[in-house]
Chain A
């Protein structure tokens, strides 16, 4: 079974539309971390956010917001008023395991196309 599932392979929106990228994860650990990364066409992964399993507060950073719900094992990412520069592949990731024996799992990514 997939540890991290990003069911949306590709999404296309028009500039200024809001868009939500879904992420569902699976773990038996009580302590774990969730991440979102952006991979623009240049290829370098860029860190966006980290959340630990004990912090279910939603977070907003400018046009970006994240909704973490342990009850549904989801960590969704919303971009408000999307811009062309938001076009990229977005990865959700899970870190689990004990200290020193961590494992890291990425989802398969959602490609976001923002058209002018």
Chain B
């Protein structure tokens, strides 16, 4: 059984640029959630996708957007990058709609905005 994978591992971008992060769900999982974890902080919920539809969203501006594909993999897009967007971005997959299900996390993508 393949776990959750994320790419790239690390990324450096300049303020104002756009970035796309990718996530492959654990086999059989149809729900993907994205989190932002600043250094020394707990993860913050960005949004969740269930069967290609956004299914819940945290307090993040619209420049954070996402997609889920028919194979349940997902992308997180961030436009107009700001210095505060520097963080570890975590993807988690689960089986079933909603956040009450056990989530399996990937290793994360470390984004640095300069």
Contact = CB atoms under 8 A, between A and B. Distances in A.
Interface of A: 4, 6, 33, 37, 42-47, 50, 52, 91, 93, 95, 97, 99-109
Interface string B72-96: 0000000000000000101010000
A47 B44 CA distance: 16
Contact of A100 (B97, B103, B106): B97
B98 interface: yes
Contacts of B105: 37, 44-46
A65 to B, nearest CB: 19
Contacts of A107: 42
A74 B107 CA distance: 29
Contact of A47 (B45, B56, B102, B108): B102
A45 B22 CA distance: 18
Contact of A102 (B35, B90, B100): B100
Interface residues of B, number: 27
Contacts of B102: 47, 50
A91 B56 contact: no
Contact of B45 (A50, A52, A103): A103
A50 B100 contact: yes
A104 B45 contact: yes
Given A47-B104, A104-B58, A99 B42 contact: no
A91 B105 CA distance: 13
Contacts of A33: 99-100
A5 to B, nearest CB: 11
Given A44-B105, A91-B42, 6 more contacts: A45-B90, A95-B98, A95-B100, A97-B99, A104-B56, A106-B43
Contacts of B45: 103-106
B103 A47 contact: yes
